[in-house]
Amino acid sequence: IIYELHHRDMTVSPTSGIKNKGKFIAWTETGTKSTDGEMTGIDHIKDLGVTHVHILPSFDFGSINEETLELNKYNWGYDPQNYNVPEGSYATDPYKPETRIREFKEMVKSFHDHGIRVILDVVYNHTYRLEGSNFTNTVPQYFYRHWGDSIYSDASGCGNETASEREMMRRYIIESCKYWVNEYHIDGFRFDLMGIHDIETMNLVRKELSAIDSTLFMYGEGWTAANSPYPIEKRAMKVYASKMPGIAVYNDDLRDGLKGEVMNDAKRGFASGREGMIETVKSGIVGEIKHPDVNYDKVIYSDSAYATQPTQVINYVSCHDDLCLTDKLRISVPDANEKELIAMDKLAQTVILTSQGVPFLFCGEEVFRNKKKVHNSYESPDSINQIDWAYKSLYKDVYLYYKNLIELRKKHPAFRMGDAEMVCKYLRFDEEKEKGVLAYFIDGRPMEDSWEKIMVIFNPHKKTVVYPVPYEPWKVALENGKVQPDSTKHRLNYDFQVNVAPQSASILYLEAPKNAYKKKKDQR
Q: H helices of 139-290, where?
A: 167-184, 199-212, 252-259, 278-285
User: Does residue 33 sit in helix, strand or coil?
Assistant: strand
- Number of other residues whose CB lies within 10 A of the CB of residue 463: 9
Among 106, 104, 1, 9, which Cα is nearest to 52's? 1
Q: Is 366 helix (H, G, I), strand (E, B) or coil?
A: helix
Q: Which of 29, 154, 161, 221 is catalytic?
A: 221
| Number of Cα atoms under 13 Å in the Cβ half of residue 109 | 9
192 is catalytic: yes
CB atoms within 10 A of CB 418: 15
Question: Which is catalytic among the residues 192, 256, 279, 479?
Answer: 192
CA angle 40, 45, 48 (to 5 degrees): 110
Q: Are 83 and 176 in contact (CB under 8 A)?
A: yes
Spatial separation of the C-alpha atoms in residues 37 and 347, rounded to whole Å: 28
DSSP codes joined into one string, 106-152: HHHHHHHHTT-EEEEEE-TT--S-STT-HHHHHSTTTTB-EETTTEE
**Number of separate helices (H) and strands (E) present in the chain:** 15, 20
Q: For residues 255 and 221, give the distance between their C-alpha atoms in angstroms, rounded to a whole number.
A: 13
Quick check: is 9 catalytic?
no
CA distances from 441 to 81, 277, 405, 454 (A): 50, 19, 18, 6
Provide CB contacts within 8 A for 370, sequence distance 6+: 324, 326, 327, 330
Q: Known catalytic residues?
A: 192, 221
